[in-house]
Amino acid sequence: MTPLLELVGIAKRFGSVVALDGADFVLGPGEIHGLLGENGAGKSTLMHLVFGLHLPDAGQIRVRGERRSIRSPRDAKALGIGMVHQHFTSVPALTVRENLWLAAGRHGAAVGDPPEAQVAGTAAERLRARLWAGLDPGAPADGLPVGAKQRLEILQALATGADILLLDEPTAVLAPPEVRELLALLREFADSGGSAVLITHKLDEVMSAVDRVTVLRRGRVTLSGPISAESPASLAAAMVGAAAVGELAPPERPAVATTSNDDAPVVSGGGLEVRRGEIVGIVAVEGNGQRELLRAVAGVGPRSGPMRVVEPVAFIPEDRTTEGLIPNFSLAENLVLGLPNDDRWSRGPWLDWSAATIRMTALLPEFGIRAAGAEAPARSLSGGNQQKVVFARALEARPAVLVAENPTRGLDVHATRFVHDRLRAAAASGVGVLLYSADLDEVLSVADRVVVMARGSVIPVPSGADRERVGALMLGAAE
Amino acid sequence: MDPIVGFLAAAIRIGTPLAWAALGEVVAERAGVINLSVEGAMLAGALGGALGAVATGDPWLGVVIGALAGAAISAAFALVAIWGRTDQIIAGTAVTLASVGLTGLIYRQAAAGSTTGLDVQTLEPVAIPGLSAIPVVGPALFDQPVLTYLVMAAAPLVWWLLFRTTWGLRLRAGGESAEAARAAGVDVRLTQTVAVVIGGVLAGVAGATLVLAQVGSFAERMTAGRGFIAIAIVVLGRWHPLGVMVAAGAFGAATALQFAFQALGLEVPYQFFLMLPYLLALVALTGVVGRVRAPAGLGRRLEPADGG
């Protein structure tokens, strides 16, 4: 059968950076195709080329067997290609209906409302009918919960009748039940003849949800084939390169001097207690007050009740590029911004930039940060390297308390591993670590102790509780 | 006078108030605030300078009072735009329009009982010994009022404050990303307010320069859009204190051209030369001179949480 989409020998450079270096990719009809790779491996670039956001420097794109030049998203939509971007693209002030009209363009305005009866049309029409569940066409987009927003994004991608759906990390923002629902919908879409490319970092999603998988590493395809022939280990090996696999084995858990009771907690208040040397994990469904609690502890948000936090506190905010770092500032400037009064570079009101630059330069190899230098703007770094800079800066404060909010969001296996190691190392050196992650398994595997946040209050997890019990508490189930 | 020396001297003279105002606007815009009330602050500075000089008999006290008047106008803008979270463009336009009305009212009241209006003693050019003896450049650059030398000294000082101090780093952080600045413990609203008021002080000095070093009297609406040209100069100078000095000189030169061409007796309508600086402003704002990165948070309204 002719593949729906075929990419041959695609190459793309951005300035001096080689994003893709002769990548091949084949998407068959009725197939969910997982696209894996570390940050900066070229996954998003490859999909952007298919969607007409960039033009390839070399190579061919064939859609349904015919060679095509896709010069804009408009061309892509006309060829039946829809894309769900990594970030939400709906216009917040417009309603669901208006956003869909906007996405449909001249393809007609009939997409603005849910279909009235059971549809048995194309794959796209059927998926669309399912996605409408619980969506009000008249509701403004900015008031929607995250899961509904993500469904709106997919509806937008389908508004032009696409049967090739490109999804760039669609599950990154979703809670586990929403992820399951989304993957089930994609399966139905594929069963009725549609095809989807799913970019993700989560190996378990790939193993359970896709038919075929392609792995990119530094712009080249390192693995491509049916998922049934692969294991998480083989995928990880293809992603990070054979030499690095050894490093990915579970580490020796450093001996942690946990709760010695005579030691006063470094954080107490708001129903929360963190002691030196322990990692306390918070699990919660999005929007249950964890964001506010973390900011209160970190001292960047209002504290509603009495709370005692031992200074200094370091904060690793969820969003690297809006809260963590200033993209246009150099790494040295970002370092100093977080630690303005550090006497290594602070001379009263004056700054000794050479001292700050020397320190930042020393931090680069120490944290394995790949950057052109301490003077490079933060925006020139990949997501994983940006996160390493945020970590380096947080630890430079020699904190008593380290607050980390979704610290591995959007990171690849390698960078995730780095973050976990650093959190454990910080705890081992006597820091009290407060960790929140939207990934339940991450919290359960990294934290020494877990608490649940539901409807704004902290609920301790009874000892010996299993994953299901924690999940029930997250959803606010009665004791 | 040699026509080239005359042209250069006029360019510097005309560029001086523009440089003062643009230098102040650099501080505000680096902090993330696009302050269109700079036109109003300049006008207030001009009136304050004139009234102050007449009342005290000392032109330097006039400059101080002009600076304070500019600060007051900018503080009003900051109150509305930053603390009231109004759109900066609308707030700046409103404050400028209010300043036009207010200065006109005060001027008429003040001039009503006087026969001379608000004529003041101007600050005379001071030749710098040695430097002013350099051929061509010397008399053009180094035989100017002290306010010209002061702005030349103020530019590196502003650069130093913005790029070599913790205060400047935190100010620029607020202009790039209010969220990141807040996470780093910066009170963004306070920082922006301080930056806007500093901008207002410099705009006030710019207005006072116009009256006390050039025209010698106040007239209604006498700034005639120079505050808006200063905003274009900030773009042309790439949000850099030293860049705006060069850009202000270029605008001064564009204006001075009309005198030079008229002196040469060229058959070009003088209105064309009056138009030149504004044309240059338009070119600067459309980015023909090369796109540069403005502070990422410029003009953005703060969320309640950004205040700190």
Chain B neighbors of A324, CB-CB under 8 A: 180, 183
Confidence of residue A240 (pLDDT cuts 50, 70, 90): low
Mean pLDDT of A147-158: 88
Q: Which of A323, A327, A329 sits opposite B183 (nearest CB)?
A: A323
CB pair distance less than 8 Å for A323 and B180: yes
Residues A82-96 have pLDDT tens digits of: 999 888 888 888 888
> Contacts of residue B167 in chain A, CB cutoff 8 Å?
349
With 50 as the cut, is the pLDDT of residue A479 above it?
A: no
Q: Which residue of B has its CA nearest to A315?
A: B183
What's chain B's average pLDDT?
Answer: 88
Kindly state the tokens that stand for A40. 């900066």
Tell me if B169 and A327 make a contact (CB, 8 A cut-off).
no
Q: Quick one: A267-474 is in which CATH superfamily?
A: P-loop containing nucleotide triphosphate hydrolases (3.40.50.300)
Chain A residue closest in CA terms to B305: A301
The closest alpha carbon to A437, from A200, A147, A175, belongs to: A175
Q: How far apart are CA B57 and CA B80, in angstroms?
A: 35
Q: Which of A295, A328, A333, A352 to mutate to test the interface with B (most CBs of B within 10 A)?
A: A328
Q: Which residue in chain B has the smallest CA separation from A351? A: B165
* More confident of the two residues A171 and B73: B73
| Cα separation values, A3 from A20, A29, A31, A367, B251, Å | 21, 6, 10, 43, 62
Q: How far does CA A117 lie from the centroid of its chain?
A: 36
- Tell me what pLDDT residue A233 has: 77
Angstrom CA distances, A272 to A88, A287, A469, stand at: 33, 18, 20
Distance separating alpha carbons of residues A302 and A291, to the nearest angstrom: 11
- Nearest-10 crossing angle of helices A383-396, A413-428: 10
> If interface means Cβ-Cβ distance under 8 Å, which residues of chain B face chain A?
164-167, 169-170, 172-173, 176-177, 179-185, 293, 295-296, 305
Q: What residue type is A456 in one-letter code? A: G
CB contact under 8 A, A346 and B166: yes
Its ipTM equals: 0.79
Asked if the domains at A5-246 and A267-474 fall in one CATH topology, the answer is yes
Q: In the predicted model, is pLDDT for residue A51 greater than 50?
A: yes
Three-class SS of residue A140? strand
The reported pLDDT for the residue numbered A242 is: 52
What band does A116 get if pLDDT is binned at 50, 70 and 90?
A: low
Give the DSSP H/E element, type plus range, for residue A153. Answer: helix A146-158
Q: Percent of chain B having pLDDT more than 90? A: 56
Q: How confident is the model at residue A2 (pLDDT cuts 50, 70, 90)?
A: confident
Chain A residues within 8 A of B182 when measuring between CB atoms? 300, 323
Residue of B nearest to A332 (CA): B169
Say how many C-beta atoms besides its own lie within 10 A of residue A432's C-beta. 27
Cis, peptide link before residue B295, omega less than 30° from 0:
no
Provide the residue ranges of all domains of chain A, joining segments of one domain with +. Answer: 5-246, 267-474
A351 — contact with chain B (CB < 8 Å)? Answer: yes
Could you report the per-residue pLDDT of B138-171, keeping only the tens digit for each? 888 888 999 999 999 999 999 999 999 989 999 9
- Chain A residue at shortest CA distance from B170: A337
CB pair distance less than 8 Å for A328 and B296? yes
The DSSP secondary structure of chain B, one letter per residue, reads: --HHHHHHHHHHHHHHHHHHHHHHHHHHHHTT---TTHHHHHHHHHHHHHHHHHHHS-HHHHHHHHHHHHHHHHHHHHIIIIIS---HHHHHHHHHHHHHHHHHHHHHHHHHT-SSTTB-PPPPPEEPTTGGGSTTHHHHHSEE-HHHHHHHHHHHHHHHHHHHBHHHHHHHHHHH-HHHHHHTT--HHHHHHHHHHHHHHHHHHHHHHIIIIIISB--TTTTTTHHHHHHHHHHHTTT-HHHHHHHHHHHHHHHHHHHHHHHHT--S-HHHHHHHHHHHHHHHHTTTT------TTTTPPPPGGGG-
Nearest to A144 by CA among A188, A98, A92, A193: A92
Q: Which of A290, A298, A263 is nearest to A390 (CA)?
A: A298
Closest-CA distance, A341 to chain B, in angstroms, reads: 8
What does the pLDDT read at residue A261?
45
Instruction: Compare B29 and A308 and report the one with higher pLDDT.
Output: B29
Determine whether the interchain pair B293/A329 forms a contact, defined as Cβ–Cβ distance below 8 Å.
no
At A227 the three-state DSSP class reads: helix
Q: Do strands A81-84 and A449-454 pair parallel, antiparallel, or not at all (unpaired)?
A: unpaired
Distance, in Å, from the CA atom of B34 to the CA atom of A390, rounded to the nearest integer, reads 30
Closest C-alpha to A437, from A422, A418, A450: A450
Interface membership of A354 toward B (CB under 8 Å): no
B164 neighbourhood in chain A, CB within 8 Å: 350-351, 353
Write out the two tokens for A284. Answer: 């919660």
pLDDT for position B288: 60
* A336 to B293: CB separation less than 8 angstroms, yes or no: no
DSSP state letters, B141-188: HSEE-HHHHHHHHHHHHHHHHHHHBHHHHHHHHHHH-HHHHHHTT--H
Q: What is the pLDDT of residue A118?
A: 58
pLDDT confidence bin for A256, thresholds 50/70/90: very low
**pLDDT reported for residue A243:** 43
Residues A217 and A238 sit within 8 Å (Cβ to Cβ): yes
Q: How far apart are CA A94 and CA A141, in angstroms?
A: 6
Residues 6+ apart with CB under 8 A from B147: B16, B20, B63, B123, B205, B208, B209, B212, B213
Pick from B169, B170, B172 the residue to mutate for testing the A interface (most A CBs within 10 Å): B169
**Environment class of residue A438 by beta-carbon count within 10 Å: exposed (0-12), middle (13-18) or buried (19+)?**
buried
A306 — pLDDT class (breaks 50, 70, 90): confident
Closest CA to A423 of A436, A412, A410: A436
Q: What does the alpha-carbon distance between residue A355 and residue A346 come to, in Å, rounded to a whole number?
A: 9
Enumerate residues 6+ apart whose C-beta is below 8 A from B279: none
Q: Is A301 on the interface with B (CB under 8 A)?
A: yes
3-class secondary structure, A214: strand
Is A92 near chain B, with CB under 8 Å? no
pLDDT of residue B281: 74
* Cα–Cα dist A149/A134, whole Å: 11
A300:B185 CB<8 A: yes
Which residues of chain A does B183 touch, with a Cβ-Cβ cutoff of 8 Å? Answer: 300, 315, 317, 323-324
Question: pLDDT tens digits, residue range B91-111?
Answer: 999 999 999 999 999 998 888
For testing contact with chain B, the best of A295, A323, A353 (most B CBs within 10 A): A323
Q: How far apart are CA B48 and CA B41, in angstroms?
A: 10
d(CA A477, CA A42): 42
CATH topology for A5-246 is: Rossmann fold (3.40.50)
Whether the pLDDT of residue B61 is over 70: the answer is: yes
Residue A114 clears pLDDT 90, i.e. is over it: no
pLDDT of residue A303: 78
Residue closest to B297 by CA, chosen among B168, B174, B166? B174
Full 3-state SS string of A237-267: HHHHCHHHHHHHCCCCCCCCCCCCCCCCCCE
| List of residues 6+ apart from A261 with CB closer than 8 A | none
Selected residue of B177, B182, B239 to mutate for chain A interface (largest A Cβ count, 10 A): B177
- CA A345 to chain CA centroid, Å, is 34
Output the pLDDT for position A107.
Answer: 60
Q: What residues are paired with A21 via a beta bridge? A: A11
> Nearest chain A Cα to B167, which residue?
A349
pLDDT band at A120 (very low <50, low <70, confident <90, very high): low
Reduce the DSSP state of residue A43 to 3 states and report it: helix
State how far the Cα of B49 lies from the Cα of A241, in Å rounded to an integer: 71
How far, in Å, CA of B192 to CA of B178, rounded? 10
Q: What is the pLDDT of residue A263?
A: 64
Which of A329, A337, A386, A393 is most worth mutating to test chain B (most B CB atoms within 10 A of its CB)?
A337
Which one has a higher pLDDT value, A205 or B47? Answer: B47
Q: From chain A, pick out residues whose CB is under 8 angstroms from the CB of B296.
A: 326-328
The string of pLDDT tens digits covering residues B253-276 is 988 887 777 777 777 777 777 787
Give the pLDDT band of residue A468 (cuts 50, 70, 90): low
The reply to whether residue B176 touches residue A326, judged by beta carbons under 8 angstroms, is: yes
Minimum Cα–Cα distance from B160: chain A residue: A350
Tell if the CB–CB gap between A349 and B166 is shorter than 8 Å: yes
Identify the structural domains of chain B with CATH numbers, from first to last: 3-289 (1.10.3470)
